[in-house]
């Protein structure tokens, strides 16, 4: 085959394989761009056209190859049966109370989508309010979000199809279970917030994209509208827009007392945001730009009359809580209610007359309580070391609910009595395994620059540290997102196969506050890859595993992580699973919401950022080498990280592979970036992943 220079990559023929795999011809093109004085070939640019016959044929051929390879791996039926058994347990969401009723979700076990229930009393049998499984024959229409009107009469709910970020809003009458004629489209990254009188709600939407561009066109010019019940969408009232800033995100909600409309303004995925408000008690009031400087993160918690209570990282990287009086809003008049702590403050709710604060201590949850003046109260005693979430509600309620989970504890829902500071179990799944068969610990690796990086390690008891254990190392490392211990049937199944599961908390995440996040973004992104590589090396050096038994996995930004690390250190891993990853760091900003990630990654149009992005972009740094076994994973309806990222990377990787290991791509149909994926598809995907790892890491599927 003719060889073409592709930056650091030489595209050449594959070595002989045992047994040989014949990859589809990806037909490299001759596209070359000059960016900041650098010639950048892009031979697989044609795979960005998701509507072309050529791309469709390539997808079909790649899928046929991958399906045949996976189906030939023994033990898949036993693995599927085991996963199905683990998954088939009743699961509950966290209840909330609104308009005289409790609402919560429940999944009987193997339902593709969880069902929304309501009841007037927790002591009586609940009734089905909305069953998403009836909205499609294959479970690919998911309930995205919902909001109950203050008077308890209506449910505004949004659904997404095939995993798309686009949602459509409808209104259901709760008493009859019937939908009103209202139907709203082209909404994305938005909830619904009801007016206090329950006559309508506020929501965000984008202009309708052109036909055929729904999955690729940039999402810009978002606006806030008010929808009045019973009226068509074209009569929705425009409430707020920023036409001079088309790439700013707008998110609106009504305060608990109904007096104010809050508008949070974001600049891409930057944690620094603006916070504006509109006085709804005044008919023609203007939007007031309370916090317009974008100098820190400002998260509105509640208002106590004219005092806005806000969580912020201004001069407090691990967050604090402040009060701003609208009557004297100058910064000199701001008051600190809850000062910054050694632990990272992740959220605060105002319920039962108290502030309930969720902290992270080495990525584990601590729940602390405060009076509204900041006086500290005894903390909430949790069921164990793990992750707690929930604690929502209203200031005058005497109860709230929370969800608690860990790696080996399926999510249980607890009722929390605010006055007595006690928790009682509300609902818990009946496990199909014995949690005492497993153990977990937290250890630390040392990164290239000396930074201590925490890892959670989970495995069956009796593990021998002899380097022979198949290991799955997972991480994310970006966007201020914190990875915390949580239960998954997939993790239990992996350990039942004899594997070790490891979750690393890398820089770029939010586990240790904004400084930890900033240490892994933009020009410092290489720190994240160094952290991950250090974790892998630590696992090998301590004989938890060996390179040939070590696999790495991550999705979205974590897919970029896996792609970059496998390109930088291919000899360190036995198998790689980059999923829905950002693989082309020079063009990510050109599709859907990708422009927003420039706040995290940097701007390809900036010469300095371009140079940095080019250094680690997985697609551009492949070269003729012996790469580990790799299965790239994506979905044909992913309109967040468009599948062309994975398509181009897989095509280039297949051509760059000079070793015997397989380089495949798994393309899920009628699925998106991950949210709303039906249970059936989730089980199928895990069977494929673990089958691939079993063959690649050299162990049998025995259950």
Task: Report pLDDT for 214.
Answer: 87
Q: What is the DSSP string of 51-100?
A: TSHHHHHHHHHHHHHHHHHHHTSTTHHHHHHHHHHHH-S-EE---EEETT
3-class secondary structure, 244: coil
Task: Report pLDDT for 8.
Answer: 37
Angle of helix 557-568 relative to helix 526-541, nearest 10 degrees? 70
Distances (CA, A) of 62 to 453, 573, 657: 37, 24, 16
Q: Measured between alpha carbons, how far is 525 from 25 in angstroms, rounded to an integer?
A: 34
Of 558, 524, 563, which Cα lies nearest the Cα of 650?
563
Asked if 259 contacts 279 with a C-beta cutoff of 8 angstroms, the reply is yes
At residue 173, φ and ψ (nearest 5 deg) are -75, 120
Averaged pLDDT for residues 154-180: 96
Q: For residue range 375-426, what is the model confidence (pLDDT) as tens digits? A: 999 999 999 889 999 999 999 999 999 999 999 988 899 999 999 999 999 9
Asked if 679 contacts 139 with a C-beta cutoff of 8 angstroms, the reply is yes
Q: Measured between alpha carbons, how far is 360 from 485 in angstroms, rounded to an integer?
A: 11
Q: With bands split at pLDDT 50, 70 and 90, how would you rate the model's confidence at 160?
A: very high
Beta strands, E only, 189-343 = 193-194, 200-205, 223-228, 237-240, 248-254, 260-267, 273-279, 287-291, 298-304, 307-312, 320-325, 335-338
End-to-end CA distance of the chain: 44
β-bridge partners, 574 = none
Q: Measured between alpha carbons, how far is 34 from 19 in angstroms, rounded to an integer?
A: 40
Asked if 631 contacts 689 with a C-beta cutoff of 8 angstroms, the reply is yes
User: Which region, left, alpha or beta, applies to residue 189 given φ > 0 means left and ψ of -120 to 50 means alpha?
Assistant: left
Q: Which residues of 116-139 are buried (b: 16+ CB within 10 A; e: fewer)?
A: bbbbeeeeeebeebbebbeebeeb
Task: Report pLDDT for 501.
Answer: 98
Say if residue 19 is preceded by a cis peptide, omega within 30 of 0: yes
Q: Measured between alpha carbons, how far is 650 from 4 in angstroms, rounded to an integer?
A: 17
Distances (CA, A) of 271 to 11, 311, 314: 39, 12, 11
CA 575 to chain centre: 23
Residue 371 has pLDDT above 70, yes or no: yes
Q: Which two tokens stand for residue 609?
A: 């950022």
Residue 5 has pLDDT above 90, yes or no: no
Task: Report pLDDT for 19.
Answer: 62
Q: Measured between alpha carbons, how far is 477 from 459 in angstroms, rounded to an integer?
A: 23
Task: Report pLDDT for 597.
Answer: 97
Q: Measured between alpha carbons, how far is 36 from 541 in angstroms, rounded to an integer?
A: 42
Task: Report pLDDT for 17.
Answer: 40
Residue 566 has pLDDT above 50, yes or no: yes
Asked if 298 contacts 270 with a C-beta cutoff of 8 angstroms, the reply is no
Averaged pLDDT for residues 508-516: 97
User: Active-site positions?
Assistant: 556, 673
- CB neighbours (10 Å) of residue 13? 12
Q: For residue range 119-156, what is the model confidence (pLDDT) as tens digits? A: 999 999 999 999 999 999 999 999 999 999 999 999 99
**Which residues lie closer than 8 Å to 328 by C-beta, 6 or more apart?**
none
β-bridge partners, 264 = 251, 275
What percentage of the chain reaches a pLDDT higher than 90?
Answer: 92
Residue 100 has pLDDT above 70, yes or no: yes
Residue 561 has pLDDT above 60, yes or no: yes
Asked if 295 contacts 489 with a C-beta cutoff of 8 angstroms, the reply is no
Asked if 96 contacts 102 with a C-beta cutoff of 8 angstroms, the reply is yes
Q: What is the residue whose two structure tokens read 């254990």? A: 469
Of 521, 493, 437, which Cα lies nearest the Cα of 703?
493
Proportion of the chain in helix, strand, coil states, percent, rounded to 5:
20, 35, 45
Q: What is the residue whose two structure tokens read 């940039």? A: 218
**Which residues lie closer than 8 Å to 88 by C-beta, 6 or more apart?**
109, 110, 432
Q: For residue range 659-685, what is the model confidence (pLDDT) as tens digits? A: 999 999 999 987 777 777 899 999 999
Q: Measured between alpha carbons, how far is 337 from 316 in angstroms, rounded to an integer?
A: 13
Averaged pLDDT for residues 27-32: 96
Residue 15 has pLDDT above 60, yes or no: no
Averaged pLDDT for residues 3-14: 31
Q: With bands split at pLDDT 50, 70 and 90, how would you rate the model's confidence at 12?
A: very low
**Which residues lie closer than 8 Å to 445 by C-beta, 6 or more apart?**
452, 453, 455, 504, 531, 534, 535, 537, 538
At residue 306, φ and ψ (nearest 5 deg) are -90, 0
β-bridge partners, 351 = 354
Asked if 665 contacts 646 with a C-beta cutoff of 8 angstroms, the reply is yes
At residue 367, φ and ψ (nearest 5 deg) are -110, 120
| DSSP one-letter code for 596 | G
* Sign, Cα dihedral of 129, 131, 136, 140: positive
CA 364 to chain centre: 18
What percentage of the chain reaches a pLDDT higher than 70?
Answer: 97
Task: Read off the pTM.
Answer: 0.93
Q: Measured between alpha carbons, how far is 39 from 22 in angstroms, rounded to an integer?
A: 31
Q: For residue range 604-648, what is the model confidence (pLDDT) as tens digits? A: 999 999 999 999 999 999 999 999 999 999 998 888 999 999 999
Residue 521 has pLDDT above 60, yes or no: yes
- pLDDT, the chain, mean: 94
* Sign, Cα dihedral of 203, 206, 209, 215: negative
Asked if 664 contacts 69 with a C-beta cutoff of 8 angstroms, the reply is yes
- CB neighbours (10 Å) of residue 243? 7
Q: Measured between alpha carbons, how far is 631 from 610 in angstroms, rounded to an integer?
A: 28
Q: For residue range 416-472, what is the model confidence (pLDDT) as tens digits? A: 999 999 999 999 998 889 999 999 999 999 999 999 999 999 999 998 999 999 999
Task: Report pLDDT for 676.
Answer: 79
């Amino acid at each position: 085959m003719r060889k073409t220079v592709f930056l650091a990559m030489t595209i050449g023929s594959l070595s002989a394989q045992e047994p040989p795999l014949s990859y589809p011809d990806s037909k490299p093109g001759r596209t070359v761009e000059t960016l900041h004085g650098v010639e950048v070939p892009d031979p697989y640019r044609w795979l960005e056209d998701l509507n072309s016959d050529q791309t469709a044929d390539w997808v079909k051929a790649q899928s046929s190859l991958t399906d045949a390879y996976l189906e030939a791996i023994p033990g898949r039926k036993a693995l599927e049966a085991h996963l199905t058994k683990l998954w088939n347990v009743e699961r509950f969401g966290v209840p909330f109370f609104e308009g005289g009723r409790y609402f919560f979700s429940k999944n009987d076990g193997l339902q593709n989508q969880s069902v929304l229930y309501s009841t007037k009393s927790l002591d009586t049998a609940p009734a089905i309010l909305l069953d998403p499984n009836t909205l499609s024959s294959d479970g690919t229409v998911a309930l995205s979000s919902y909001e109950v009107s203050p008077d308890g009469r209506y449910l505004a709910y949004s659904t997404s199809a095939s995993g798309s970020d686009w949602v459509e809003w409808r209104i259901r009458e709760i008493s009859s279970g019937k939908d009103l004629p209202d139907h709203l489209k082209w909404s994305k990254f938005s909830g619904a917030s009801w007016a206090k009188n329950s006559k309508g709600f506020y929501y965000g939407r984008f202009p309708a994209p052109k036909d055929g561009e729904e999955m690729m066109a940039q999402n810009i010019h978002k606006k806030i509208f008010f929808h009045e019940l019973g009226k068509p969408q074209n009569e929705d009232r425009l409430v707020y827009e920023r036409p001079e800033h088309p790439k700013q995100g707008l998110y609106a909600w009504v305060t608990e007392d109904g007096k104010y409309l809050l508008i949070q303004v974001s600049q891409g995925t930057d944690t620094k945001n603006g916070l504006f408000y509109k006085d709804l008690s005044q008919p023609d009031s203007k939007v007031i730009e309370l916090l317009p400087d974008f100098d820190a993160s400002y998260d509105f918690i509640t208002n106590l009359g004219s005092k806005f209570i806000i969580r912020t990282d201004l001069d407090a990287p691990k967050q604090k809580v402040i009060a701003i009086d609208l009557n004297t809003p100058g910064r000199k008049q701001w008051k600190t209610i809850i000062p910054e702590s050694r632990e990272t403050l992740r959220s605060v709710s105002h319920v039962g007359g108290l502030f309930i604060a969720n902290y992270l201590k080495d990525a584990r949850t601590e729940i602390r309580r405060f009076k509204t003046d900041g006086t500290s109260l005894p903390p909430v005693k949790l069921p164990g070391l793990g992750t707690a979430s929930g604690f929502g509600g209203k200031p005058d309620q005497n109860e709230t609910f929370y969800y608690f989970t860990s790696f080996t504890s399926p999510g249980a829902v607890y009722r929390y009595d605010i006055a007595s500071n006690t928790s009682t179990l509300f609902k818990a799944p009946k496990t199909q395994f014995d949690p005492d068969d497993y153990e977990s610990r937290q250890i630390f690796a040392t990164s290239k620059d000396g930074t201590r990086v925490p890892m959670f390690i989970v495995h069956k008891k009796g593990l021998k540290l002899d380097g022979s254990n198949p290991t799955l190392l997972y991480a994310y490392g970006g966007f201020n997102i914190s990875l915390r211990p949580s239960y998954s049937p997939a993790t239990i199944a992996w350990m039942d196969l004899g594997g070790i599961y490891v979750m690393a908390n890398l820089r770029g995440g939010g586990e240790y506050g904004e400084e930890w996040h900033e240490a892994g973004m933009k020009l410092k992104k290489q720190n994240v890859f160094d952290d991950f590589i250090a974790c892998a090396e630590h696992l090998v050096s301590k004989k938890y595993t060996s390179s040939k038994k070590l696999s790495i996995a991550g999705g979205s930004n974590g897919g970029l992580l896996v792609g970059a690390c496998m390109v930088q250190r291919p000899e360190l891993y036995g198998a790689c699973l980059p999923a829905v990853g950002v693989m082309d760091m020079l063009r990510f900003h050109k599709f859907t919401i990708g422009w927003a990630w420039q706040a995290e990654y940097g701007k390809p149009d900036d010469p300095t950022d371009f140079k940095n992005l080019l250094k680690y972009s997985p697609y551009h740094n492949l070269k003729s080498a012996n790469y580990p076994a790799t299965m790239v994973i994506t979905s044909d309806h992913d309109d967040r990280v468009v599948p062309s990222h994975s398509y181009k990377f897989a095509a280039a990787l297949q051509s760059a592979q000079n070793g015997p290991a397989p380089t495949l791509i798994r393309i899920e149909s009628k699925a998106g970036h991950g949210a709303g994926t039906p249970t059936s598809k989730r089980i199928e995907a895990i069977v494929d992943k673990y089958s691939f790892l079993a063959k690649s890491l050299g162990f049998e599927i025995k259950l």
